[in-house]
A and B are shown apart, each in its own frame.
Chain A
Amino acid sequence: MQAKTFRGTFKIMAEENPTPIVLAIDDTELVHRLLKIYLQGENLELHSATSCEEGFNKIIVLNPDLILLDIIMDDTDGFEFLKKLKQDPRTKNISVILISGLSESVDREKGFDIGAFDFIAKPFNQLELKARVRKALRMKMLEHKNQRDERTGLWNQSYFKQRMIQEISEARRYSRPLSLVVCDIDRFKKLNDKFGHQFGNHVLKKIAQTLSGGRTSDIACRDGGDEFVLILPSTNIQQGYEVVERIRIAIESITWPGKTNLVVTASFGICDIANVGEEATPEAMFKFADSALYKAKQNGRNSVQPSS
């Protein structure tokens, strides 16, 4: 459970725990033993699951950086499982290396088409396995570095735009709801002026932590300054309102060491894809949520305003 608390609640602190998590899903104990020996000494934490069901539960708890997935298993076809992972907002960005006795190029092609990062044929060679795992983890690290906001550790604006395009496309494709939240810290400039930039940065980090500490499927990003955005996949505006209201209360309840009476609050605007309709783009959804935020500010701040 420690892993869940750490990674699920605040994955952005991954920099403090640089050991990547790798989950191997294979129904053969023989293979798990080999992987354990082959990957010994690598800078990673190896977990194992012997079925897709167990694997999926572990993925949700551990939020691994890489999955090594067997294709032919007793309970599920690995390709089907990969499809499931790539369709689920909580798991679709996890790199997957397929490990299989199927070595026909058509199988490789199928795996890559579904979204596999790489393919290793069984029986695998230790050097090849290590090299491919290192490559996948290196790519993940680079991606992480380029898409993170340095101050808060949240996803940055460039990632937000790219992710919104993906989420809008999937929401349309699978007729799923999608909500977007824009958040602004109330009177942040005054806080900065009164307590200094160092404290201001501390506030930004604490609020970032609170925003990313909710559901694992939600994507918290820093848009710049004291403004944040939160993408809520598969969430309509009513459900989103409840999620954000909990966050608003959590922010209001943060205690600030040495500043007993200080209450920092934030205002939120939320819209869902249905508000924007057929013309939904990241910019259009942002505009709707931002207008709602403006209303929240006008109505006295520290509130969540749904877009109408």
Chain B
Amino acid sequence: MLDQNNKLFHTNTPIVSSYINDQGMESIIHIFLDEIPHRIADLQASFKSSSRDEFCKFVHQLKGAGGGYGFAEITLKAAGIEKKLRVPNTGWKEEIQKNMDEFITILQRVYASKDVSGHV
């Protein structure tokens, strides 16, 4: 399982907000990025404990908000996972494991944009 100490945090290409030059958005993008490790932990914990509803909720929240903060990749990936989760399936974890890993990687790459020069 990946966590925020994983080196992927630093080795993946950062995904930078499309609002990088929007000064009005600076403060909230900064908060959004700061919260990413916490959101990854929530996703991983609910996935690990098979709390499908809880997991669904976290994915849905990121789907709705990611694009709004300039991270369309988050919305796209979350939408894909949500679509799969809508289908009743007892083996849902196996079904979305790959997507989940990819989603976490995207979130880590977003988090890595904190270090990008000129970013918020």
Contact = CB atoms under 8 A, between A and B. Distances in A.
Interface of A: 28, 30-31, 33-34, 36-37, 40, 70, 72, 74, 100-101, 122-124
Interface stretch (B1-9, B59-67, B104-112): B59-67
Given A30-B65, A31-B68, A100-B64, 6 more contacts: A37-B28, A40-B24, A101-B60, A101-B64, A122-B67, A123-B65
A34 B61 contact: no
B31 interface: yes
Contact of A31 (B27, B64, B79): B64
Nearest to B64: A122
27 contacts: A28-B65, A30-B61, A30-B68, A31-B68, A33-B28, A33-B32, A34-B28, A34-B65, A37-B25, A37-B27, A40-B24, A70-B64, A72-B60, A74-B57, A100-B64, A101-B60, A101-B79, A122-B64, A122-B65, A122-B67, A122-B68, A123-B63, A123-B65, A123-B67, A123-B68, A123-B75, A124-B68
Label chain A's interface by main secondary structure. mixed
B69 interface: yes
Contacts of B68: 30-31, 34, 122-124
A238 B75 CA distance: 56
Contacts of A123: 63-68, 72, 75
Contacts of A100: 64
What 3 A-B pairs have minimum CB-CB distances, sorted nearest first?
A123-B67, A30-B65, A122-B64
A266 B63 CA distance: 59
Contact of A122 (B24, B25, B63, B72): B63
A164 to B, nearest CB: 41
B53 to A, nearest CB: 9
Contacts of B79: 101
B64 A33 contact: no
Given A37-B28, A40-B24, A123-B75, A31 B57 contact: no
Interface in B43-89: 57, 60-61, 63-69, 72, 75, 79, 82
B31 A33 contact: yes
Nearest to B63: A101
Contacts of B66: 123
A31 B72 CA distance: 15
Contacts of A40: 24
A6 to B, nearest CB: 30
Contacts of B24: 37, 40
Contacts of A34: 28, 65, 68-69
Interface string B19-39: 000001101100110000000
A95 to B, nearest CB: 21
Contacts of A37: 24-25, 27-28
Q: Pick the most buried of B32, B60, B66, B82: most chain A CB atoms within 10 A of its CB.
A: B60
A35 to B, nearest CB: 9
Nearest to B75: A123
Contacts of A28: 61, 64-65
A131 to B, nearest CB: 16
Nearest to A70: B64
A31 B63 CA distance: 11
Contacts of B28: 33-34, 36-37
Contacts of A36: 28
